[in-house]
Amino acid sequence: MRKKTLLMTLFMCALSVAGAWGENAGDGRQKQTDSPVVGTVTFHLTKDGYALIDTAALKKLLDTNSEDPVVVDARNPEEYEEVHIKDAINIPQKKFKKYAHLLPEIKSARIIFYCNGIKCGKSKKAAKAALEMGYTRIFVYAEGMPVWEEKGMPIYAGPEYEKRIETDKLSPKELNTLIQSKADTFTVVDVRDPEEFHKGHIPGAINIPSPTFASQSEVLDKKKRIIVYCSGGGRSYNAYRKLMKLGYKDIRQALFFDWQEAGLPVEKSDA
């Protein structure tokens, strides 16, 4: 009898979860179908209780959802003022309790947290804090502000947004010395197009094209120095800025044109 009661309790809990998040789509992914206006939004429900959504899903929620989801920027106020997702509010993760009153009173409201990309933990910590407060439909947009911005999604840009930054540059000689050391403390990234990369690149470099740099940046170790380069400096400057927003601390810029002018070796690879 006790076993049957336990099984019935577990079954009712499963129904409760399904009712909150929608129907199962298999492989840990769910389809949220609780609003006929939204249609179907696919997301991944984590063991911590919040759901992970990507750029396309978030855009769809913002464009078509009649429930007006609340988007929360968990970064610090300076980052928020520079640029943020349009209509997002700012609740810095480190001061979550102080500003938690900005969240909706309704505990079933859809709330989406984001910060500076996959390796930024602020949005996930804020999401857990919201769940502890009793909110039941919490999302994390893990790709974050750099990818949202990179994909041309709606943003608010503050007065400091276009401010030019001064990059730390490496000369061809300095970069070559570093490569020859064979130290495992840095990664050289060619941000040109794949076609350019295959025709010739700095030995040992990996290729992450500038237009999708933030989207693919998770392969880069934050503990290492990241050296970005392109031909003339424009694309590597953009990549440098994206790395800063993603929270990388040790960044350098180099130029492939200077490398070639110095007569240093160039590798070629098959397309």
**Residue 53 sits in the same domain as residue 89:** yes
Asked if residue 79 and residue 26 are part of one domain, the reply reads yes
Structural domain span for residue 115: 16-157
* Structure confidence at residue 183 (pLDDT): 94
How sure is the predictor about 21, in pLDDT bands with cuts at 50, 70 and 90? low
Read off the pLDDT band of 43 (50, 70, 90): confident
Statement to judge: residues 24 and 143 lie in one domain? yes
Name the nearest CA neighbour of 249 among 215, 213, 228, 222: 222
Q: Of the residues 127, 157, 187, which one is the last residue of a structural domain?
A: 157
Helix, strand, coil share of the chain (percent; to 5): 40, 20, 40
Could you give the number of structural domains in the chain?
Answer: 2
The Cα–Cα gap between 42 and 25 comes to 8
Please indicate, yes or no, whether residues 126 and 31 belong to a single structural domain of this protein: yes
Query: How high is the pLDDT of residue 271?
Result: 62
CATH of the domain at 215: 3.40.250.10
pLDDT per residue over 208-265, tens digit each? Answer: 999 999 999 999 999 999 999 999 999 999 999 999 999 999 999 999 999 999 999 9
Q: Higher model confidence: residue 32 or residue 99?
A: 99
* Cβ-based neighbours of 125, under 8 Å, separated by 6 or more: 74, 93, 96
At 41 the pLDDT is 64
For residues 95 and 32, which has the higher predicted lDDT (pLDDT)?
A: 95
Q: Are residues 64 and 122 in the same domain?
A: yes
115 in the same domain as 46? yes
pLDDT classification of 65: cutoffs 50, 70, 90: low
Q: What is the pLDDT of residue 28?
A: 45
Task: Encode pLDDT of 80-135 as tens digits.
Answer: 999 999 999 999 999 999 999 999 999 999 999 999 998 899 999 999 999 999 99
pLDDT digits (tens, 9 = 90+) for 120-166: 999 999 999 999 999 999 999 999 999 999 999 999 999 989 888 99
Residues 112 and 150 in one domain: yes
